[in-house]
């Protein structure tokens, strides 16, 4: 999209006025539950003056998780640049889950647009989005709708910057309406505030006529690869290191790699790369090709071997790993951090068969059982049946328990149940014990466990760095099962189901595809229907 760049913007005796906001959600099309307004309001929703205060260095943007995130980073970029008035709009975020309900998305979008209309004359807008969201009944990426509507309100001469998670499903409609695009460069994602700072810095320089961003991007026919895809570990370390080296060249404004979230129903799923230069399209194109080559070379780097629940519990019992602290069991098929509902009962079923004397702490989404037990006295003994998420088609597990603790939390009501040597935390919302605080608030010390079950691929490692040093992936059966990704049919031959010789063969076709959602309904067992696979 061609726009008129105006060096006088922000000068002539008045500051720039740039608004900022967020709509952030990662969707999993295999989840049987939808995301509603309640989920956003219960997790993170801020507007106006509250948002302004939260995005100062003394504020807390994501309370309980990360005090300084993208919007704080943007505000600091504006403060450093000087002559910029930052205008808060709205900020809404919730943990990954199923597709957003239509009513919820209309509320999110209209709330943002109404505040944008009321903000008065603006020189630009910065938005923190995810890039892999999904809305029930919407046949395109919701981020594309957000950007299109914001651009319509701003007009062609104002600047628009956006940042994305590095698991975004990058596509033309996520780039065409904007001037500046920045992505996370770490996995786990600790660089939220630096991402917002980079986006703000480049938007302000663009508006002042100091730079003219031009973009080049490539789409790769791969959905898995890169081992465990952590940016500071092999094999992806050398790719991210090369990207950082690129940005030391003053001609290069940004370099981004998108290792896609593969659980949406978009037709154009795949890894992508993006390079932005200062008015040098040939350099951008050349570097985008080189970055794509480096990412493509990592496609055959596999994740660690997956184990079944019985095998991994036997390994914890017989091994020396737990002498150094609790072993983390990553339930890779039921990752709440990737949109699964967290109601997978396979591990607790194995513990019921034989707890092996292991002290295990395990979270489970089971809202019906929470309702049943919420009024039960503490220390009361019950025989209960765990069924997990309604509609998730998990095996029922009957076991004797003691009701030991109750808590109102970010995940709604939580109840701690003790059975034998293990502990189950059942929640009315998908539980995500990303921080040890989750267990401490239920009266447990996670450092004294033999094993901790995680429903998260990466981010928990930042919070458990001094608690758990061993991490074992467990294969069960749920919304984030990798077999769903491997066995799905794609618009072009895609790795790992196929092994194309060169990403260039299908790059043009993949980039021409829109992020159309083919899935309008989810089967009761959380699987894509046959028509979408």
pLDDT, position 532: 31
State pLDDT tens for residues 47-71.
999 999 999 999 999 997 889 999 9
Q: Answer yes or no: are the C-beta atoms of 389 and 29 closer than 8 Å.
A: no
Domain locations along the chain: 16-296, 309-474
d(CA 221, CA 516): 17
Cross-strand partners of 430: none
Q: If you ran DSSP here, which 8-state letter would residue 493 be given?
A: -
Find the DSSP H helices in 330-423.
Answer: 346-353, 367-373
Cβ neighbours of residue 20 under 8 Å, at least 6 residues apart? 55, 71, 74, 75, 86, 87, 88, 89, 125, 126, 127, 128
**Which tokens is 429 given?**
């919302």
**Which tokens is 469 given?**
């040093």
User: Is 72's pLDDT higher than 80?
Assistant: yes
Cβ neighbours of residue 251 under 8 Å, at least 6 residues apart? 277, 278, 280, 283
Largest CA distance in the chain: 75
Instruction: Give the rounded distance of the alpha carbon of 276 from its chain centre.
Output: 23
Cβ neighbours of residue 102 under 8 Å, at least 6 residues apart? 135, 136, 137, 138
3-class DSSP state of 51: helix
Cross-strand partners of 62: 66
pLDDT, position 458: 83
State pLDDT tens for residues 433-483.
999 999 999 999 999 999 999 999 888 988 999 999 899 999 998 999 998
d(CA 66, CA 341): 23
d(CA 406, CA 442): 7
- Strand pairing report for 327-331 and 272-278: unpaired
d(CA 120, CA 467): 49
pLDDT, position 259: 98
d(CA 385, CA 401): 10
**Which tokens is 276 given?**
């932005």
Residue whose pair of structure tokens reads 């039921």 in the numeric block: 334
> How deeply is 250 buried, as exposed, middle or buried, from its count of CB atoms within 10 A (0-12, 13-18, 19+)?
exposed
Nearest-Å Rg of the Cα atoms of the chain is: 23
pLDDT, position 332: 95
State pLDDT tens for residues 361-383.
999 999 999 999 999 999 999 99
* % of the chain at pLDDT higher than 90: 85
Q: On the CB side of 4, how many CA atoms lie within 13 Å of its CA?
A: 7
User: Is 128's pLDDT higher than 90?
Assistant: yes
User: Is 526's pLDDT higher than 80?
Assistant: no
d(CA 65, CA 435): 8
d(CA 445, CA 482): 32
User: Is 31's pLDDT higher than 80?
Assistant: yes
State pLDDT tens for residues 290-334.
999 999 999 999 988 899 999 999 999 987 767 789 999 999 999
pLDDT, position 13: 55
State pLDDT tens for residues 200-225.
999 999 999 999 999 999 999 999 99
pLDDT, position 28: 96
Is omega for the bond preceding 150 within 30 degrees of 0, making it cis?
A: no
Using the Cα atoms of residue 114, residue 118, residue 120 and residue 126 in order, give the sign of their dihedral: negative
Q: Answer yes or no: are the C-beta atoms of 48 and 97 closer than 8 Å.
A: no
Measured CA distances, 133 to 94, 150, 508 (Å):
11, 17, 23
Helix 346-353 vs helix 309-318: angle between axes, to the nearest 10 degrees?
60
3-class DSSP state of 191: coil
pLDDT, position 89: 98
State pLDDT tens for residues 221-271.
999 999 999 999 999 999 999 999 999 999 999 999 999 999 999 999 999
Q: Answer yes or no: are the C-beta atoms of 261 and 169 closer than 8 Å.
A: yes
State pLDDT tens for residues 386-409.
999 999 999 999 999 999 999 998
Task: Return phi, psi of residue 304, to 5°.
Answer: -60, 155
Question: What integer is the mean pLDDT of 507-521?
Answer: 78
d(CA 285, CA 16): 31
**Which tokens is 421 given?**
């040597």
Mean pLDDT estimate for the chain: 92
Picking from 135, 109, 127, the residue whose alpha carbon sits closest to that of residue 26 is: 135
Instruction: Give the rounded distance of the alpha carbon of 210 from its chain centre.
Output: 33
State pLDDT tens for residues 158-191.
999 999 999 999 999 999 999 999 999 999 999 9
The whole-model pTM stands at 0.91
Is omega for the bond preceding 235 within 30 degrees of 0, making it cis?
A: yes
């Amino acid at each position: 999209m061609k726009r008129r760049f105006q060096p006088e913007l922000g000068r002539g005796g008045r500051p720039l006025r740039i608004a900022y906001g967020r709509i952030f959600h990662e969707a999993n099309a295999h989840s049987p539950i939808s995301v509603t307004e309640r989920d956003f309001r219960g997790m993170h929703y801020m507007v106006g003056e509250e948002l302004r205060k939260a995005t100062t260095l003394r504020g807390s943007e994501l309370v309980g998780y990360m005090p300084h995130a993208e919007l704080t980073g943007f505000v600091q970029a504006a403060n450093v640049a000087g002559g910029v008035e930052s205008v808060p709009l709205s900020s809404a975020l919730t943990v990954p889950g199923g597709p957003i309900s239509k009513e919820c998305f209309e509320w999110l979008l209209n709330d943002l647009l109404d505040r944008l209309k009321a903000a008065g004359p603006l020189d630009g807008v910065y938005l923190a989005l995810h890039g892999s969201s999904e809305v029930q009944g919407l046949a395109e990426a919701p981020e594309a709708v957000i950007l299109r509507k914001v651009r319509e309100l701003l007009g062609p001469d104002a600047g628009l910057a956006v940042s994305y998670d590095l698991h975004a499903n990058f596509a033309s409609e996520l780039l065409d309406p904007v001037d500046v695009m920045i992505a996370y460069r770490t996995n786990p994602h600790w660089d939220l505030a630096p991402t917002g700072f980079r986006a703000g810095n480049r938007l302000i320089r663009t508006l002042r006529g100091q730079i003219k961003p031009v973009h080049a991007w490539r789409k790769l026919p791969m959905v898995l690869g890169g081992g465990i895809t952590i940016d500071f570990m092999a094999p992806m370390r050398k790719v991210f290191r090369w990207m950082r080296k690129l940005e030391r060249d003053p001609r290069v404004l940004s370099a981004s790699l998108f290792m896609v979230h593969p659980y949406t129903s978009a037709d154009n799923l795949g890894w992508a790369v993006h390079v932005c230069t200062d008015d040098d399209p040939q350099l951008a194109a050349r570097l985008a090709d080189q970055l794509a080559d480096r990412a493509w070379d990592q496609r055959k780097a596999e994740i660690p071997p997956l184990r079944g629940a019985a095998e991994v519990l036997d390994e914890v019992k017989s091994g020396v790993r737990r002498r150094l602290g609790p072993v983390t069991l990553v339930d890779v098929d039921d990752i709440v951090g990737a949109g699964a509902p967290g109601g997978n009962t396979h591990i607790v079923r194995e513990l019921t068969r034989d707890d092996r004397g292991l002290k295990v702490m395990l979270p489970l989404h089971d809202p019906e059982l929470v309702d049943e037990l919420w009024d039960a006295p503490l220390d009361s003994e019950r025989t209960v049946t765990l069924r997990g998420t309604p509609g998730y088609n998990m095996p029922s597990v009957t076991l004797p328990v003691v009701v030991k603790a109750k808590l109102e939390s970010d995940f709604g009501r939580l109840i701690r149940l003790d059975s034998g040597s293990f502990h189950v935390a059942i929640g009315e919302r998908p539980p995500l014990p990303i921080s040890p605080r989750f267990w401490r608030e239920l009266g447990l010390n996670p450092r004294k466990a033999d094993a901790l079950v995680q429903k998260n691929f990466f981010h928990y490692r930042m919070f458990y760095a001094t608690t758990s040093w061993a991490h074992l992936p467990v294969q069960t059966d749920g919304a984030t099962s990798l077999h769903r990704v491997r066995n799905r049919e794609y618009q072009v031959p895609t790795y790992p189901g196929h092994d194309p010789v060169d990403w260039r063969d299908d790059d043009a076709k993949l980039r021409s595809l829109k992020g159309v959602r083919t899935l309008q309904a989810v089967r009761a067992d959380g699987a894509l229907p046959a028509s979408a696979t």
